[in-house]
């Protein structure tokens, strides 16, 4: 490797092509400087021919002999960073204690199964039982959402043929519907009637006036008063079969509110601006429904009568209901 060419800094470079003199040059015509140049050229060519010229190997061309065989990576020097706070030590998890070599594996029945995977979107909310319900089931509806009827009451029995015909005759004759019940094992007879529209207006007007004067203060008292005034006007007859008592009440509030009534009340209101419903109430509670037991019993039968009327009114568009044949005796 003597024919390797290097520059002044020791780096490899390609060998230069030797210069050859041009044939037929007349030396007598050359100047002294040109003669000196021609002499130097001949001496240089003579020295180059005396050496064996070989191209340098790839290894020598890449890695010089005087340099270390280890590769050196030049990187930019980074300033040393000193942390402000000490770096916390990492916690090293302790290895679980190994079981003895002869220890038997735990039985499968004692190993708890992993919980099932449940999607958060599919997870159903737990059913919370309402207060007082320990079964977790949905409680039954106690009140009708449309008419506020008490659903705990027994269902209305199918009206009899006489009840259907009596209601139909009242409609055709444009009169109030009258129906009689036997109570206390048939020992007492009680009779009720429906009211006219003007009689209902008198009841609401009287209760509204009592609310304005402060006699009625709550909504419960308001409807309680409405139902009581209806009972006093609907009750037309109450008598014992043995004749111990008999109470025949007028069938109308006044000729103006019920012109088809056979008899109406002949009372004057204590307050001219109000109706005389308070006077009718005093008369009924003082002479007819004297005890609380009789008052509640009659009120219960009156509620049954009003339910019968509601049942009959609900069947006005059912032709089969009204065309039913008479029941067999």
pLDDT band at 137 (very low <50, low <70, confident <90, very high): low
Tens of pLDDT, residue by residue over 249-273, are: 999 999 999 998 889 998 888 777 7
Q: What are the residue ranges spanned by the domains of the chain?
A: 1-20+29-61, 161-322
Structure tokens belonging to residue 224: 């309680």
Tens of pLDDT, residue by residue over 71-87, are: 555 555 555 655 566 66
The pLDDT value given to residue 231: 95
Those residues with Cβ within 8 angstroms of residue 183's Cβ, 6 or more apart along the chain or in another chain: 189, 190, 297, 301
Whether 230 and 203 have beta carbons less than 8 Å apart is answered as yes
The pLDDT value given to residue 59: 47
pLDDT at 299 over 80: yes
In three state form, how does the secondary structure of 157-202 look?
CCCCHHHHHHHHHHHHCCCCCEEEEEECCCCEEEEEECCCHHHHHH
pLDDT at 4 over 80: no
Tens of pLDDT, residue by residue over 150-196, are: 777 667 778 888 999 999 999 998 899 999 999 999 999 999 999 99
The pLDDT value given to residue 17: 56
Enter the pTM of the model. 0.53
What are the C-alpha distances in Å from 308 to residues 183, 202, 311? 16, 24, 5
Q: Which residues pair with 307 in a beta bridge?
A: none
As a whole number of angstroms, the distance between CA 178 and CA 195 comes to 10
What are the C-alpha distances in Å from 312 to residues 53, 114, 121, 307? 133, 64, 51, 9
Better pLDDT: 274 or 279: 279
């Amino acid at each position: 490797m003597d024919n390797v060419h290097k520059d002044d800094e020791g780096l490899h470079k390609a060998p230069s092509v030797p210069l050859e003199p041009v044939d037929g040059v007349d030396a007598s015509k050359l100047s002294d400087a040109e003669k000196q140049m021609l002499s130097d050229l001949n001496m240089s060519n003579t020295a180059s021919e005396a050496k064996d010229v070989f191209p340098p190997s790839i290894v020598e061309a890449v890695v010089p002999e005087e340099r270390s065989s280890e590769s050196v990576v030049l990187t930019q020097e980074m300033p040393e960073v000193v942390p402000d706070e000490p770096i916390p030590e990492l916690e090293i998890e302790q290895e679980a204690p190994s079981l003895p070599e002869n220890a038997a594996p735990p039985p499968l029945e004692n190993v708890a199964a992993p919980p099932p995977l449940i999607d958060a979107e599919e997870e159903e909310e737990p059913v919370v039982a309402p207060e007082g319900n320990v079964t977790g089931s949905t409680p039954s509806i106690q009140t009708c959402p449309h008419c506020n009827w008490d659903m705990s009451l027994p269902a209305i029995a199918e009206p009899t043929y006489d009840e259907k015909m009596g209601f139909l005759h009242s409609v055709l004759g444009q009169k109030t519907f009258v129906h009689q019940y036997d109570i206390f094992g048939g020992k007492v007879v009680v009779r009720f009637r429906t009211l006219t529209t003007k009689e209902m207006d008198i009841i609401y007007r009287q209760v509204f006036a009592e609310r304005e004067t402060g006699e009625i203060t709550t909504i419960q008292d308001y409807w309680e008063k409405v139902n009581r005034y209806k009972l006093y006007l609907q009750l037309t007859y109450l008598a014992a079969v043995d004749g111990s008592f008999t109470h025949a009440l007028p069938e109308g509030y006044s000729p103006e509110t019920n012109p088809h009534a056979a008899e109406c009340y002949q009372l004057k209101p204590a307050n001219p601006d109000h109706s005389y419903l308070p006077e009718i109430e005093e008369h009924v509670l003082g002479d007819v429904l004297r005890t609380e037991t009789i008052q509640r019993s009659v009120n219960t039968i009156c509620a049954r009568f009003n339910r019968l009327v509601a049942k009959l009114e609900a069947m006005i568009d059912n032709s089969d209901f009204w065309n039913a044949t008479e029941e067999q005796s």
